[in-house]
């Protein structure tokens, strides 16, 4: 017999649906993503730490669970809400179903509600907290106060790696079915095609990193060493990196005071740097800029990012609830991309150092691949700095 499950929002609104996944009552920040595919990548993206994720696409789980497509070691979402989930997935790569995966990960799910109506509420009222529970209490007031008090803390600490891990460029872990082997964009250079070039040593600071960041660097002939979020700048620079990568990650960027201080040292060192998502925000904060929480953020695989130098728009994957305040950037920093929908800052280029960053995900998996060229730009920047150093 199907069991009832409820979503109670902090404003008192209730959505009654059916339970799947793990059996537990959890509180989290309710957010929505508009991605039509890539639900496995969403579930394993550390940037969703502490959040109850709502999928706007109505049917989820139809291609099952494919471990090779995971973007981290586990699922970091607090809860998962869909209109319908597929109980009989069909895909030659699938190794299980969504319900079993959520149970194994300890993630409660809710289905059978009007996810469009819920999304409209979040869009109109802004991101709010909520709780998934199997029974509603007779007295709501105490529970609503508890929901409102929920905050996401120590998000980076709880998603980052705890040890240094090296990923040589010639030991790239390719999925059993690699879409890039079939649909190779003009901007993608695979590791075997780059074998004649100089191998670059890149340190990737894991702030809640997705696996595909390291893979994209490996494809371009980079040896990647992933280090924990709290690694000191002196230790990173002692590794003599050709470049430093700052990953995506969850939570309020301004909370990471100690990390920001270390990033400031790294930026001032003159080593080429590339920041993505949270890394983009922390770079801005380390340079004296401000960040602010957005009404409902950008989450999905169809966000338009406009490059200001030529007006070209790229369709990008995004997952963030905070943004850099463009007007707060110092004189040596220029906004390079804006969101074509709301004009928020989507990229920054620093003119005093070989450093740049973007709010969106050029490593997007399961796509789109429009902005993958930014990894090429990073490799070119490292090569340029290396040549100038020799001169």
Catalytic site residues? 277, 361, 363
Residue 227's φ and ψ, nearest 5 degrees, are -125, 150
Structure-derived torsion over alpha carbons of residues 7, 8, 14, 15, reported in degrees to the nearest 10: -10
Cα 230 from Cα 243, distance rounded (Å): 18
Alpha helices in 292-361 (DSSP H): none
Question: For residue 341, how many other CB atoms are within 10 A of its CB?
Answer: 11
Those residues with Cβ within 8 angstroms of residue 66's Cβ, 6 or more apart along the chain or in another chain: 40, 91, 93, 94, 95
3-state helix, strand, coil in the chain (%, to 5): 30, 30, 40
Residue 246 contacts residue 279 (beta carbons within 8 Å): yes
Q: How far apart are CA 361 and CA 247, in angstroms?
A: 10
Closest CA to 343 of 294, 290, 278: 294
Judge whether 31 and 297 are in contact, CB under 8 Å.
yes
CA distance 286 to 292: 15
User: Helix, strand, or coil here: 115?
Assistant: helix
Q: Which residues of 301-330 are buried (b: 16+ CB within 10 A; e: fewer)?
A: bebbbbbeeeeeebbbbbbbbbbbebebbe
């Amino acid at each position: 017999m199907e069991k009832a499950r409820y979503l109670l929002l902090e404003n008192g609104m209730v959505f009654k649906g059916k339970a799947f996944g793990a059996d537990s009552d959890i509180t989290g920040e309710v957010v929505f993503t508009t991605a039509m595919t890539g639900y496995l990548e969403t579930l394993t993206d550390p940037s969703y730490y502490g959040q109850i994720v709502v999928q706007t696409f109505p049917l989820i789980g139809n291609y099952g669970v494919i471990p090779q497509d995971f973007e981290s070691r586990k699922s970091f979402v607090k809860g998962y809400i869909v209109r319908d989930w597929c109980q009989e997935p069909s895909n030659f790569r699938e190794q299980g179903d969504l319900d079993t995966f959520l149970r194994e990960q300890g993630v409660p799910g809710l289905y059978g509600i009007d996810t469009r109506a819920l999304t409209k509420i979040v869009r109109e009222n802004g991101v709010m907290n909520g709780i998934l529970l199997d029974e509603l209490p007779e007295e709501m007031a105490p529970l609503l106060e508890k929901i409102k008090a929920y905050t996401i803390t120590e998000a980076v600490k709880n998603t980052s790696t705890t040890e240094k891990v090296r990923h040589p460029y010639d030991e790239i872990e390719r999925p059993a079915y690699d879409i890039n082997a079939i649909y190779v964009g003009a901007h993608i250079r695979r590791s075997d095609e780059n074998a004649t070039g100089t191998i670059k040593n890149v340190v990737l600071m894991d702030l809640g990193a997705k696996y595909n960041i390291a893979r994209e660097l490996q494809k371009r002939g980079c040896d990647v060493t992933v280090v924990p979020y709290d690694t000191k700048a002196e230790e990173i620079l002692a590794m003599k990196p050709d470049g430093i990568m700052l990953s995506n990650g969850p939570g309020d960027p301004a909370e990471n005071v100690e990390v920001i201080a270390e990033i400031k040292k790294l930026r001032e060192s003159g080593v080429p740097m590339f920041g993505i998502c949270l890394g983009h925000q922390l770079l801005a904060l380390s340079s004296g800029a401000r960040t602010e929480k957005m009404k409902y953020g950008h989450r999905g695989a169809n966000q338009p990012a406009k490059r200001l130098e030529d007006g070209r728009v790229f369709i990008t994957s995004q997952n963030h609830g905070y943004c850099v305040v463009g007007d707060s950037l110092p004189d040596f920093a220029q906004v390079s991309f804006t969101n074509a929908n709301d004009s928020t800052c989507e990229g920054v280029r620093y003119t005093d150092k070989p450093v740049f960053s973007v709010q969106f995900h050029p490593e997007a998996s399961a796509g789109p691949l429009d902005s993958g060229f930014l990894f090429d730009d990073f490799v070119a920047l490292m090569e340029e700095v290396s040549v100038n150093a020799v001169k």
